[in-house]
Structure 1
Amino acid sequence: MRLLAATGMWAAGAMLVATAHARTIEVVPRVATRSAPAPKLAPGSPGTIGWAIAQQEKKVRFKRAQSEGALPERDPDGTCPAEMANVDRRFCVDRWEGSLEELLEDGSTQPWPATTVLDLTKQYRAVSAPGLVPQAYISGTQAAEACRKSGKRLCEASEWRLACAGREGTIYPYGTTRVERRCNDYGRAPMYSFYPQVEKSWALVTNTDMNDPRLNLLEGTVAKTGEHPGCVNDWGLYDMVGNLHEWTADPNGTFQGGYYLDTLINGEGCAYRTTAHDIDYHDYSTGFRCCADLLPGSGLDDDE
């Protein structure tokens, strides 16, 4: 009797398993549907700059920057010069990373070599144009003065991030995830070519070493402005991620966006922010671009 009962229980269990198994392989007819358009990213959702900043601020790899401040009010009638983009009807941003022209005593100008440290006895103005090697080896103080000489200013941190992330507020200028070689963020580490002691410790190199003009003459380092045509956002701004760090208007010293070797260590893409140096610091990786207030006008420009 016990054997029969056990056999009956085994049979019932087998039927249940068989039934369950049969249900798992039941074929459900497919119903043809039209794919819906991709929804817009909600603020703070994965893939947006707000999300990236929130994730980064949970870490303690770098000093947290001061408050970024409020954005300028919108002006529907405001315009920008041709070399600048009108960002969200709030302010103007240079389309390309900054280069320098030396201001001569007779009032004329001449290009300044972008791979050399600035001469403190000279004066410079900022230039934004495609096809130029952008100025490295520049401090935040020097960048601010060069912008001022051009009737512009350094971008506030809040302005820079809004400009970098585009209309959709994404981590990268072109979207939510990094695309290999889209921007100049896959380059070489030039310090190892001339100062192999860095393999042991970065404490073994000096500030003079970090400003060696040879560093950015190596292939695979700084690129000309606009040389990576895919590294652009829907404001029409190029190279805001990679190529050179870009100083912003923090008196304590902040540069953003990463450079040709790294766009991840201090935050990803447009969330990249370095606050470890004061505003007078400069090396082979530091660059800039200028912002400006909107000009009065009809509001009918190519960034409508």
Structure 2
Amino acid sequence: MLFDVLLAQLLAQAGALPAPLPAPKPASACPPDMVLVEGTHHENVQRICTSYRGGHCYRFFPGLFAVEPRATPVRACMDRHEWPNRAGALPVVMLRFVEAEKECAAAGKRLCTEFEWELACEGPSALPFPYGYAQDAAACNVGKPYRGISERRLASDDPAVRAAETQRLWQGEPSGSYPACVSPYGVMDLVGNVEEWVATSRPEWPHRSSLKGGYWSKPWAGCRGTNESHGPMFRFYEIGFRCCKDAGPPT
């Protein structure tokens, strides 16, 4: 043993020992275009509203909330941007829930769940809006004037007719156009721009498909509130989605 120690010292002094290899970097839990959403989701959050108008709350008492069961642990990777998950790209709309599922599956992902989406939007402090406690009309794309739609044209069997009506109604913005519209986890445009398909988490909803986040003409949109009215075959001019996947093991 003493001989081995002396030999190592002599070799080191002579420069014969190779330089130590750098420590390997820990593997990231998520791909570069996704962010890790990890924490506890509470099914019900109660807050004190301090500015209520038109049937909606626009401001909540900061820092004060109560949570109720059920509590669900969440650990998932979520697309940073709305599909196609590229900064500066227009979000894709007019896809059915089942079509959005296929797009995510083709990318090795899945649709986000309702609980994953809510936690990603609220952060660990259960914020009512991704950026804080009071609605900020300039933070996200939520203040565009409503344009009347033609249900007949949107439901047409002719793709060109549907596309023309969608284009007439379109008021979405490229992903990332609103830098302040970012959640505590770093997810962009969860509120406003386009409504997003999610996989239903609450058993009382009638369909396995639900919608979150409102769209460009819904100024009261926040992190809570689920549109549970539409089944998997529904599609609409302001509905998009983003993908999730299970996160890698903790490093």
CA RMSD of aligned residues (A): 2.7
Change (3 A) 1:216 1:188: farther
Counterpart among 81, 84, 107 of residue 34 in structure 2: 84
Segments of 5+ residues of structure 1 without an aligned counterpart are: 1-75, 100-127, 196-201, 299-304
What is the aligned-residue identity percentage?
A: 31
SS at 1:143 equivalent: helix
Change (3 A) 1:220 1:279: closer
Equivalent residue letter for 2:100: A
2:81 corresponds to 1:96: yes
SS at 1:171 equivalent: coil
CA distance in structure 2 between the aligned counterparts of 1:179 and 1:285, rounded to whole angstroms: 21
- When the two structures are superposed, what TM-score results if normalisation uses the length of structure 1? 0.55
2:241 corresponds to 1:256: no
SS at 1:86 equivalent: strand
1:297 Cα deviation from its structure 2 partner = 6.3
Matched residue, 1:246: 196
1:296 Cα deviation from its structure 2 partner = 3.8
Counterpart among 142, 156, 170 of residue 208 in structure 1: 156
1:245 Cα deviation from its structure 2 partner = 0.7
1:232 Cα deviation from its structure 2 partner = 0.4
CA distance in structure 2 between the aligned counterparts of 1:216 and 1:230, rounded to whole angstroms: 27
2:227 corresponds to 1:282: no
2:124 corresponds to 1:161: no
Matched residue, 1:223: 173
CA distance in structure 2 between the aligned counterparts of 1:261 and 1:96, rounded to whole angstroms: 19
Change (3 A) 1:220 1:134: closer
User: What are the residue-to-residue correspondences of 1:21-40 with 2, within 5 Å?
Assistant: none
Matched residue, 2:247: 294
Equivalent residue letter for 1:275: E
Spell out, residue by residue over 1:261-281, the C-alpha distance to the aligned partner (whole angstroms, 9 max, x if none). Answer: 1153xxx41113111111110
Change (3 A) 1:219 1:281: closer
1:167 Cα deviation from its structure 2 partner = 2.8
1:283 Cα deviation from its structure 2 partner = 0.8
Structure number with the higher helix fraction is 1
Counterpart among 123, 130, 139 of residue 173 in structure 1: 130
Counterpart among 161, 166, 190 of residue 147 in structure 2: 190
8 A contact 1:190–1:216 mirrored in 2: no
SS at 1:208 equivalent: coil
Segments of 5+ residues of structure 2 without an aligned counterpart are: 1-25, 40-74, 201-206
CA distance in structure 2 between the aligned counterparts of 1:222 and 1:81, rounded to whole angstroms: 26
8 A contact 1:263–1:272 mirrored in 2: no
2:182 corresponds to 1:232: yes
8 A contact 2:154–2:166 mirrored in 1: no
SS at 2:162 equivalent: coil
Structure number with the higher strand fraction is 2
